[in-house]
Structure 1
Amino acid sequence: MFSSPLLLAFPFFLLLCFLLYWAGARHAYTRRPEAENGDPGAFDWHFFVPCRDEEAVVGTTVGRLRADHPAAHVWVIDDDSDDRTGAIVAELAETDRRVHLVRRHRPDARTGKGSALNAAYDELNQFLSPDTDREQVVVCVIDADGQLDPQALARVSGPGGFGDPEIGGVQVSVRMRNTDDARPLAGRGPVRNAFARLLVRMQDMEFSVSNAGMQLLRGRTGSVGLGGNGQFTRLASLDRIAAAERRPWQRGALLEDYELGLHMILNGDRIAHIADTWVSQEGLPHGRRFLTQRTRWAQGNLQCVRYAPRIVSSRHYGGKGVLETLYTFLQPVAHLVTLALCAVMFALLGLTAAEDGPGEAFGGVLSLWPLMLGLAVVSVLPFVLWGPIYRRDRAPGRSLLVSLLWGLALWVYAYHLFPASARGFARMLRGRNGWAKTRRNAEQAGVGPVAVES
């Protein structure tokens, strides 16, 4: 039953790829040199903050950006909100000439985050004088609930960022700022809140160490990806994409940030990741909202597979960059294939049990227990080893035992990728590409849609 070469070889191949990728990411993270500061005054900074029904957070976000980065302009894109988002920003703009409100109205509005960012790009072009040195203008995308490190502009101005004229984009690390919230689900019981706290902690662990390591590894392969929060780009780089693609951000893309990075590299710009500065956001304590978000990311990843031929043939991608990017593209596909193989194996196991009896069927499986135990250890250990690194950098007050338990939880947490990939693939097959806004934690439960749009 288990003699099929495909059934035996494919899981081992995936595990080998995972271990190699993990080893490279861990080495890149733990051995990275500290980022050097540059001169933020050498650049003209513009924050883009896309908003749709964000009255719960937008005032705080704009206020912090202006207080921490007083020389920067803040462009808030109101994507035809039904709440007071536009009114709040308009009031701020009346007393602060560096706060700008970009109003969008249906039917042009609510067509995706990329379209909203393109609207701000158009407004910025009208605002700047014709003789502006667009290589020295930097656009930074911040989520409506985002809070940027006050030292971030100095970090991304340094020689590892825009101090290098070949760098067209910089992505900073992402943190969850509600990891220490004792009751993320107000009004719920202790069990639900314990799960919510762990879910937020896993998101912080995923982004601040695991994903940061992946991005630093991509820095070595020339394939760093841009994220939707804390994404810095030279205006001249956006211009080059607009010249080739008609607009910097692509309409309808569910991963408009990662797709922007692909276009940037294809046009010859380099992207850097700086792990020594950060942007913080709210971790999602609700399992349903979390799975909806990750389904969108998986579907967006699948959409980007169409760029594979261009990347393989591009002179701006080296061999390592091509391999890393294809590996990233194929992650949701690998999850789907793994699910299919598991279904086939269980079906074959059931047929054997029906024909030859349970003893014959399960006896063969049990005889492989040393191999299965070894594979389990090798699969779990990389996640567990992230725990002490996370403790060192993000939670030094916690014990080593707690950090190891967090690493074990990260292994369990990673299995959300399988249902997310399956749901994303199913949505693609059904032609469903619309999404409702992910509700902020500060919003009331009955305000606005949060589920996937039909």
Structure 2
Amino acid sequence: MSALDPLFSFSFVLLVLFLCYTTLIVVPFLRRRPAEEGDASAFEWHAFIPCRDEAAVVHDTLTRTRARFPGVHLWVIDDASTDGTARIVEQIAAADPSVHAVLRRLPEARQGKGAALNAAYAALLRWRAEKGTACREDDRTVVIVLDADGSLAPNALAQAAGPMAFGAPHVGAVQVAVRMTNTEDPLPGRGRVARAWARYLVRMQDIEFRTTIAAMQSLRMRTVSVGLGGNGQFTRLSALQAASAERSAPWGNALLEDYEVGLRIMLAGYRTVYTHDTHVSQEALPSARRLLTQRTRWCQGGLQCVRYLPRIFTSRTFTNAGALEACYFLAIPYIQLIGLVVWPTVAIAVLTNGIIATGSLMAWMETSAWVIPLWLLTGIVPFALWPIVYARREERHSLGRAALWGMGYWLYMYQSYVCVVRAFARMLAGRRGWAKTRRNGEVGGRLLAVET
């Protein structure tokens, strides 16, 4: 046995693990059935909308949400904005009793999205205490988390009230699908190449959320471990109270506060579910810099949530399959970091050994033509299949365009390796601050920069 054999064996295990996981998520997604809707009037609805420098979008979001869902109370948290967001929110709240301004000021403000949501949670509890019997019971009260640019589909409340969602008493949280609003945005003021690049990034994010991430959630429906997202998250007030038992507030300080609160809710004994038959829309990021900042924050947040694994494996409320799924999801950054070393090493070793054995690169290539189809099958197809699913089931585009997107999506997914390195570097440097990604509003013909 050569010194490289253990490395080859380990790389094979990683490859099989990845291919099995891809199969496990794509099959339930393709087989899923439409969910039934329920009676939204049976619940009391409150939407938390955290805002930090959101003047470019918050007015339209509040106006649209109030018009579409007149029975929903909006709790708008201004997290010490410097662009006039608070003024906009206060003006709307003064004229509409269903809009509540939650104003945070430094130094308490700007402590992360979880802290902002906890402030709204505390304000809601105070408001309910003042209202007394005018409020529904806690398990009939639902809190929605909505981004400042978020737009819920008209059937969102009916889907959340369905028999497989809050119509079932053991369900504590519902996550809806996420779509991008700006896939056809002309992006004025940019050069041709820059516009093409921006459109590419936007489309890839739409494919990612509507297929890969949705498929992961479809698998989690079967393992009973659905993860919550930061936009389009629905939770019972009673479930949030149960998740608050240890720390008096439901949301923690992890940079992936949405997934963390979902874990807390499941550990408290509730079930989380996913519905693909309604959605929330948000802006995709047409800037690689801002995309990497966002994904680095997500990856670092996942690393912070690893501390929940001992509780997950000892919990009687998690299924065995759910514990394994959560373990794999939280281990992905570590697997990717290992892969950054393993895959190039294996490729170089195979190439070097082949050249030594055959005498030249050309001779090795002639005798090893099978390597290319194997690489295509195991390295590209698992990524390229998602745009095909997207084109045939989500957006109805041609197969030719889907194939082109497939190559683009394969390349796009390599951004995760950049983000995992940045996330580990931030962890090692002790940097745990919440880096907010700016909206796509333009200032002076240029997209706003990332605030880091």
TM-score (norm 2): 0.93
- The correspondence for 1:161, drawn from 128, 153, 165, is 165
User: Residue 427 and residue 346 in structure 1: after superposition, are their counterparts in 2 closer, same or farther (change >3 A)?
Assistant: farther
Match in the other structure for 1:302? 303
User: Does 1:287 pair with 2:298?
Assistant: no
| 1:162 match: secondary structure | coil
Match in the other structure for 2:34? 34
**For 1:152 and 1:407, how far apart are their aligned partners in 2?**
30
Once the two structures are superposed, what CA deviation does each residue of 1:81-104 show, in whole Å capped at 9, x if it has no partner? 001111101111111110010000
**For 1:363 and 1:115, how far apart are their aligned partners in 2?**
62
**For 2:151 and 2:334, how far apart are their aligned partners in 1?**
34
Match in the other structure for 2:228? 226
Counterpart contact for 1:2–1:8, Cα < 8 Å: no
Counterpart contact for 2:290–2:449, Cα < 8 Å: no
**For 1:429 and 1:61, how far apart are their aligned partners in 2?**
38
Counterpart contact for 1:352–1:361, Cα < 8 Å: no
Counterpart contact for 2:45–2:73, Cα < 8 Å: yes
| 1:203 match: secondary structure | helix
User: Does 1:116 pair with 2:116?
Assistant: yes
Once the two structures are superposed, what CA deviation does each residue of 1:188-207 show, in whole Å capped at 9, x if it has no partner? 21111111101100100000
User: Residue 206 and residue 165 in structure 1: after superposition, are their counterparts in 2 closer, same or farther (change >3 A)?
Assistant: same
User: Does 1:60 pair with 2:68?
Assistant: no
Match in the other structure for 2:146? 142
Matches within 5 A, 1:283-432: 283-342=284-343, 344-345=345-346, 368-396=368-396, 398-432=397-431
| 1:243 match: secondary structure | coil
Worse-superposed segment, 79-88 or 4-13: 4-13
Counterpart contact for 2:256–2:298, Cα < 8 Å: yes
Kindly report the root-mean-square deviation, in angstroms, between the aligned alpha carbons of the 2 structures.
2.4
Q: What is the number of equivalent residue pairs in this alignment?
A: 447
Counterpart contact for 2:176–2:274, Cα < 8 Å: yes
- The correspondence for 2:176, drawn from 172, 177, 197, is 172
Worse-superposed segment, 212-221 or 311-320: 311-320
Match in the other structure for 2:251? 249
| 2:103 match: secondary structure | strand
User: Does 1:268 pair with 2:269?
Assistant: yes
**For 2:366 and 2:108, how far apart are their aligned partners in 1?**
60
| 1:264 match: secondary structure | helix
Counterpart contact for 2:441–2:448, Cα < 8 Å: no
In the alignment, residue 238 of structure 2 is paired with which amino acid?
A: A
In the alignment, residue 217 of structure 2 is paired with which amino acid?
A: Q
**For 1:95 and 1:144, how far apart are their aligned partners in 2?**
19
User: Residue 357 and residue 385 in structure 1: after superposition, are their counterparts in 2 closer, same or farther (change >3 A)?
Assistant: closer
User: Offset of 1:449 from its aligned partner?
Assistant: 6.0
Counterpart contact for 1:148–1:279, Cα < 8 Å: yes
User: Does 1:82 pair with 2:82?
Assistant: yes
**For 1:122 and 1:374, how far apart are their aligned partners in 2?**
55
Counterpart contact for 2:45–2:143, Cα < 8 Å: yes
Unaligned runs of at least 5 residues, structure 1: none
**For 1:367 and 1:426, how far apart are their aligned partners in 2?**
42
| 1:173 match: secondary structure | strand
| 1:78 match: secondary structure | strand
Match in the other structure for 2:435? 436
User: Offset of 1:316 from its aligned partner?
Assistant: 1.2
**For 2:51 and 2:156, how far apart are their aligned partners in 1?**
22
| 1:271 match: secondary structure | strand
User: Residue 85 and residue 189 in structure 1: after superposition, are their counterparts in 2 closer, same or farther (change >3 A)?
Assistant: same
User: Offset of 1:382 from its aligned partner?
Assistant: 2.6
**For 1:268 and 1:60, how far apart are their aligned partners in 2?**
37
| 2:245 match: secondary structure | helix
Once the two structures are superposed, what CA deviation does each residue of 1:345-364 show, in whole Å capped at 9, x if it has no partner? 578689999xx899578976
In the alignment, residue 256 of structure 2 is paired with which amino acid?
A: L
Match in the other structure for 1:96? 96
User: Residue 366 and residue 269 in structure 1: after superposition, are their counterparts in 2 closer, same or farther (change >3 A)?
Assistant: farther
User: Offset of 1:379 from its aligned partner?
Assistant: 2.6
Match in the other structure for 2:10? 10
**For 1:440 and 1:403, how far apart are their aligned partners in 2?**
28
User: Offset of 1:283 from its aligned partner?
Assistant: 0.4
User: Residue 443 and residue 188 in structure 1: after superposition, are their counterparts in 2 closer, same or farther (change >3 A)?
Assistant: closer
**For 1:51 and 1:222, how far apart are their aligned partners in 2?**
32
**For 2:156 and 2:114, how far apart are their aligned partners in 1?**
24
Match in the other structure for 2:46? 46
In the alignment, residue 441 of structure 2 is paired with which amino acid?
A: A
User: Residue 304 and residue 6 in structure 1: after superposition, are their counterparts in 2 closer, same or farther (change >3 A)?
Assistant: farther
Counterpart contact for 2:201–2:286, Cα < 8 Å: yes
Once the two structures are superposed, what CA deviation does each residue of 1:16-66 show, in whole Å capped at 9, x if it has no partner? 222222222222112111111100000000000000010000000111110
**For 1:13 and 1:429, how far apart are their aligned partners in 2?**
28
Counterpart contact for 2:180–2:205, Cα < 8 Å: yes
Counterpart contact for 1:45–1:138, Cα < 8 Å: yes
User: Residue 9 and residue 348 in structure 1: after superposition, are their counterparts in 2 closer, same or farther (change >3 A)?
Assistant: closer
Identity %: 47
In the alignment, residue 190 of structure 2 is paired with which amino acid?
A: R
| 2:370 match: secondary structure | helix
Once the two structures are superposed, what CA deviation does each residue of 1:200-255 show, in whole Å capped at 9, x if it has no partner? 0010000012111110110100110000000000000000111123210013x100
User: Offset of 1:370 from its aligned partner?
Assistant: 1.6
Counterpart contact for 1:268–1:316, Cα < 8 Å: yes
User: Offset of 1:428 from its aligned partner?
Assistant: 0.4
**For 2:443 and 2:275, how far apart are their aligned partners in 1?**
35
Counterpart contact for 2:438–2:451, Cα < 8 Å: no
User: Does 1:277 pair with 2:278?
Assistant: yes
In the alignment, residue 197 of structure 1 is paired with which amino acid?
A: R
Match in the other structure for 1:152? 156
**For 1:165 and 1:307, how far apart are their aligned partners in 2?**
25
**For 2:222 and 2:102, how far apart are their aligned partners in 1?**
38
